[in-house]
Structure 1
Amino acid sequence: MTEKKSPNAANLFLKGTFILTVAGLVVKVIGSLNWIILSRVLGGEGIGIYQMAFPLYLLALSISSAGIPVAISIITAEKIALQDYRGANGVFRLSLILLTFTGMALSLLLFFGAGWLIDHRIIRDARAYYSLIALSPAIFLVTILSSFRGYLQGWQTMTPTAISQIIEQLFRVATMLIFAAALLPRGLEYAAGGASLGAGVGALAALAVLVYYYWRLKINTKHEQFSQGESRYESRYEESSISIIRRITKLSIPISLSGIMLPLVANLDLLVVPVRLEDAGYSVEQATELFGYLTGMAVPLVNLATILTASLATSLVPAISKAYSLGEKQQILQRTAGAMRLANLTAVPFSVLLWILAEPILSVVYHAPRAADITKVLAIGVFLLGIHQVTTGVLQGLGRTTIPVINMGVSAVAKVFLNWTLTAIPAFGIQGAAWATLADIGLAAVLNLYFVYRFTGFHIDIGETLKYAVAAVVMGAVIYLSYNWLLLVTGNELFAMALAILGGGVVYGGILLATGGLNRRDIERIPLIGIFLKKS
């Protein structure tokens, strides 16, 4: 029986990952186009103003959600595995009530506390005030929609999340560009505030999509699965509301702390980096611009390159949780190994690609070639961040939600120390902050890997990873040479990059096929592409 279910479970996992990855690509393409236009409208200084408000928004959002969405996904997946469908719906209702209160509280706190943050110089540039108050309504809306996403992901249904992400981004980007352009004549602070309105509008549109999918799921499961689930679950026990709240709390608190770590570290960057840049001899305006290059241009490129691994992590949580609740240890190991293999297969070449083409990419995308040196430092972060995302998903799926936050805390301390030390050195400047970010990601990834090995027995296949590395280095050489030749011949950066990347990708895939790093079975398991290959 297990052998029959395993392939279906694997296909469901890969399908969910594929759907989220495609959605992620669409969202990132839309977002990249948005940043291309927005960065040219606002410039580095305007982006810096926007970015000064955004970390506080992320921090407030993490606190308001309190890790509950991931907890919903974990517990829902467990109850679906045990066919307790009524219990799964009860988990969602309770979590929705909790998130409504926390989201509203944090939204109001940011709105009324924006002036205090400016007055007490926590936000060093007073022009970020309008961005802060414009972002505050989005906290409530995003908190609510995250509960719907967590519940639907617990069913390993990733389509609602994917579609809602695309709709959210479309409405967000349209709002950002319209209001930024309309308010620009009044000043950069107003334009940045107008751009910040997009978060709330996008969240409202996404929430409407998720509510639709929730009611459709409820109707589809009401007669068949709910009835079947109740009859099968009567032989076990019915979990009380208090017990559910306790479990949600137990899971969500460490997940919340883990989620808070990212915006907390971003806020520490906000407090440390501009100040230390000023100590290194930069003016307030120059420090703001350099901070914008790092957080608004270099870091987003790294995140863009880890779309697949982020999707893997999201799909892993309910998949691992389901296997763990059924005691299927071998399936846990297989899921972990498969996810890590796919992560390294894509992250290694993206690291090389970003390092080789940092300057032309930034020139074409953001019209900011000065951010190239920062981006090259962070290029290796693509590989490390991929490992960190996947291992965090595994640990959370196992219910070991405390471990990632401790690991992130340890790495955050190292980052703060390096930020404070390196950024103030004139020879490093903003590159010192980039090195600190890289150290932060790397240390967290290594610590996570240790604990994944401890609980599952998984370890990275060094020989396989070396195949990816060698193939990526050859790919990088091909991209470098072909790009420079094509640029000389055509004089068009975008055209030269596109052809060079295409050629490098073919070389990378060809080397892996020749060395056994990639085989027919791997390709057959890719949704849509695999179907055509099997027919051939």
Structure 2
Amino acid sequence: MRIPRLIKQFVIRAGAMFVVKLIGLVGRVILTRIIGAEGIGLYQISYSFYGFILMLTSGFPTTLAIATAKAPKQGWGFLKIVSLCLILSCGLLSLGVFWNSSDVAGFLSNPGLEYGIRSLSLSLFAVPLLGLVRGYLQGLKQFGIIAFSEIVEQSFRFVFMLLLVGQFLSLGVERAIGYGLYGTFMGAFISFSMLTIFISLNKETISSYRSRDSFITLSWFVRTSLAISATRLFIPLSEFVDALLVPNRLVAAGYSASEATAIYGVIYGMAVIVVYAPTLFTGALSHILTSHIVAEWQKGDKRKFISICNTALYTCWLWGGVTGLFLFVYADELSFYIFNTDSASHVIRALAPIPLIVGFREISTSILWAQDNRKDPFFGLLSGIACSIIIQYFLVAIPGFGYKGAAIAIIVLELVASIWNMKVLRNKEVAFKGIVKPLLYDFTFGICILLGMINLFQGSEYIMNLWRFITITMLYFMTSGIYIYLRCIRKIL
């Protein structure tokens, strides 16, 4: 009974993650069509600052989950103690950001960000508390209510955001974004209220987990929280550096502040969303397979371990190749029909390899983590971020090279991290020779299918008809999906 329960928990978690990201993707697309490139640039920069500050407390929920799983009674005590600390510290932080929002906007080199920073300051108080409650419930294995709360939060966040932006758009895009970002607090508040009601109504059920405690010291809790926060800080730090560096280097290249914000919005608010969308599949697959990979490694069944790893790598690479080809060929249609502009098409085409590279990075990171190797993925990602920053600083400032420079920096970040993992895996049990040759055959299959559909539905117009594009998309991914299932997925299942 234990193994099916674990699989069910991981499926619930992965499914919720997929739905949450899908809601976010749809919401961002609608928001982009309402506020345009400059507006989504302001939104993206504001969220980069918010995400960076929020990650300072990201270690507490995970540590509380670990502590609660080991010692449920102490977990309840830690929840109360840490909640009080977060109420005081995050309350002061929220007030500080609110009062100094104009200074923060000046630091980010765009006074128009003041309204967005001021709105998100309220979320800096609510979201850490929400994360802490989720961490406590995670330690008690209440995965269903956690998944539901994430979907509720994301849904209400974007519903309120889109309604507020539409209501206040007449005041200007800067104020509309500012008011719209209050949706982040509203979504977090509704989700937090739901979880606290759930805990209060299920005290007896939850209390049944409070047995066989092991003693956990407060110093261990603090050290572990700080270590996890430091590890998770790199991706938000990278995004925050992008938000600081790219617009400033574009200004150095001769663009105005408004033009630089619009270009940043096209790259990171439009193109990046599209090219990273296929990684929802690889992320969910990696999340589900982690438990299987860990189980086989701990049992010492190297043959089964290598088989699952190679099949997972093969699946991610094949999916990345299929989606990358589609992004490259239909970048114009994707940009036009999703964002109602063709300005993101050349960036989408330049970033078409991203699903392939990210798919490998995610699954290879899971394999290394299963082997208790957290150092190499960490240093690989850190090296990628460092290379990306250097490229952004020099290439984005070259006149006329802004889009290309930013795209190269994004690809280099993912590529360096992936190559680092590949180098480590080649020195371990996982082999690549057996999957490279079939992968070339499968790429050929994907190209043939795509070329066949292009010839079958060929038209004379520059941007093909919407229904023709939808038909090609459905047929291509239906055919590719069946092929991937027969070649890969059924072997894992």
Per the normalisation by structure 1, the TM-score is 0.79
**CA–CA distance in 2 between the matches of 1:369 and 1:261?**
32
Residue 287 of structure 1 is matched in structure 2 by 260
Does residue 446 (structure 1) correspond to residue 416 (structure 2)? The answer is no
Q: Does structure 2 retain, via aligned residues, the 8 Å contact 1:36–1:367?
A: no
The code of the aligned residue for 1:435 comes to I
Call closer, same or farther: CA 1:272–1:25 in 2, change over 3 Å.
same
**CA–CA distance in 2 between the matches of 1:397 and 1:105?**
39
Tell me which of 501, 509, 512 is aligned to 2:473. Answer: 501
Q: Does structure 1 retain, via aligned residues, the 8 Å contact 2:52–2:233?
A: yes
The code of the aligned residue for 2:155 comes to L
* 1:386-406 residue CA offsets vs partner (Å, 9 max, x unmatched): 333344455566665555443
Residue 449 of structure 2 is matched in structure 1 by 478
* 1:433-464 residue CA offsets vs partner (Å, 9 max, x unmatched): 1110110112123324555677xx45364533
The code of the aligned residue for 1:58 comes to G
Give the gaps of 5 or more residues in structure 1.
526-536
Q: CA deviation at 1:133?
A: 0.6
Residue 116 of structure 1 is matched in structure 2 by 103
Residue 411 of structure 1 is matched in structure 2 by 384
Residue 459 of structure 1 is matched in structure 2 by 430
Residue 344 of structure 2 is matched in structure 1 by 371
Call closer, same or farther: CA 1:174–1:510 in 2, change over 3 Å.
closer
* 1:325-375 residue CA offsets vs partner (Å, 9 max, x unmatched): xx5454994776675555445434233332232221121111132111112
Percent identical: 24
Pairwise CA RMSD: 3.5
Residue 534 of structure 1 is matched in structure 2 by none
Q: CA deviation at 1:51?
A: 1.7
Q: CA deviation at 1:215?
A: 5.3
**1:331-350 maps to which residues of 2 (within 5 A)?**
333=305, 340=313, 342-350=315-323
**1:286-305 maps to which residues of 2 (within 5 A)?**
286-305=259-278
Residue 219 of structure 1 is matched in structure 2 by 204
Does residue 68 (structure 1) correspond to residue 41 (structure 2)? The answer is no
How many residue pairs get aligned? The number is: 490
Q: Bigger shift: 346-355 or 126-135? A: 346-355
Residue 119 of structure 2 is matched in structure 1 by 134
Does residue 257 (structure 1) correspond to residue 230 (structure 2)? The answer is yes
Q: CA deviation at 1:178?
A: 1.3
**1:381-392 maps to which residues of 2 (within 5 A)?**
381-392=354-365
**CA–CA distance in 2 between the matches of 1:484 and 1:191?**
45
**CA–CA distance in 1 between the matches of 2:130 and 2:373?**
25
**CA–CA distance in 2 between the matches of 1:319 and 1:86?**
30
Residue 23 of structure 1 is matched in structure 2 by 16
Call closer, same or farther: CA 1:323–1:196 in 2, change over 3 Å.
farther
Tell me which of 256, 280, 284 is aligned to 1:307. Answer: 280
**CA–CA distance in 2 between the matches of 1:203 and 1:352?**
38
**CA–CA distance in 1 between the matches of 2:178 and 2:316?**
37
Tell me which of 230, 236, 239 is aligned to 2:215. Answer: 239
* 1:462-513 residue CA offsets vs partner (Å, 9 max, x unmatched): 5336535643553344345525754739997443333222222343245456
**CA–CA distance in 2 between the matches of 1:89 and 1:362?**
49
Residue 190 of structure 2 is matched in structure 1 by 205
Call closer, same or farther: CA 1:407–1:510 in 2, change over 3 Å.
closer
The code of the aligned residue for 2:468 comes to A
Does residue 174 (structure 1) correspond to residue 147 (structure 2)? The answer is no
Q: Does structure 1 retain, via aligned residues, the 8 Å contact 2:41–2:261?
A: yes
Tell me which of 517, 529, 534 is aligned to 2:487. Answer: 517
The code of the aligned residue for 1:18 comes to V
Residue 533 of structure 1 is matched in structure 2 by none
Structure 2 counterpart SS, 1:488:
coil
Call closer, same or farther: CA 1:462–1:221 in 2, change over 3 Å.
farther
Tell me which of 405, 430, 447 is aligned to 2:403. Answer: 430
The code of the aligned residue for 2:8 comes to K
**CA–CA distance in 1 between the matches of 2:202 and 2:299?**
27
Q: Does structure 2 retain, via aligned residues, the 8 Å contact 1:277–1:430?
A: no
**CA–CA distance in 2 between the matches of 1:153 and 1:171?**
22
Q: Bigger shift: 472-481 or 295-304? A: 472-481
The code of the aligned residue for 1:240 comes to I
**CA–CA distance in 2 between the matches of 1:322 and 1:100?**
39
**CA–CA distance in 2 between the matches of 1:323 and 1:216?**
39
**CA–CA distance in 1 between the matches of 2:199 and 2:422?**
35
Structure 1 counterpart SS, 2:477:
helix
Q: Does structure 2 retain, via aligned residues, the 8 Å contact 1:388–1:444?
A: yes
Residue 459 of structure 2 is matched in structure 1 by 488
Residue 36 of structure 1 is matched in structure 2 by 29
Residue 270 of structure 1 is matched in structure 2 by 243
**CA–CA distance in 1 between the matches of 2:243 and 2:138?**
33
* 1:87-114 residue CA offsets vs partner (Å, 9 max, x unmatched): 5555655554554455334333322332
**CA–CA distance in 1 between the matches of 2:352 and 2:173?**
31
Q: Does structure 1 retain, via aligned residues, the 8 Å contact 2:293–2:367?
A: yes
Q: CA deviation at 1:216?
A: 6.6
Q: Does structure 2 retain, via aligned residues, the 8 Å contact 1:299–1:375?
A: yes
Q: CA deviation at 1:85?
A: 4.6
Q: Does structure 1 retain, via aligned residues, the 8 Å contact 2:104–2:117?
A: no
Per the normalisation by structure 2, the TM-score is 0.85
Q: Does structure 1 retain, via aligned residues, the 8 Å contact 2:250–2:397?
A: yes
Q: CA deviation at 1:217?
A: 6.6
Q: Does structure 1 retain, via aligned residues, the 8 Å contact 2:11–2:288?
A: no
Give the gaps of 5 or more residues in structure 2.
none
Call closer, same or farther: CA 1:336–1:485 in 2, change over 3 Å.
closer
Structure 2 counterpart SS, 1:369:
coil
Does residue 189 (structure 1) correspond to residue 162 (structure 2)? The answer is no
**CA–CA distance in 2 between the matches of 1:341 and 1:156?**
32
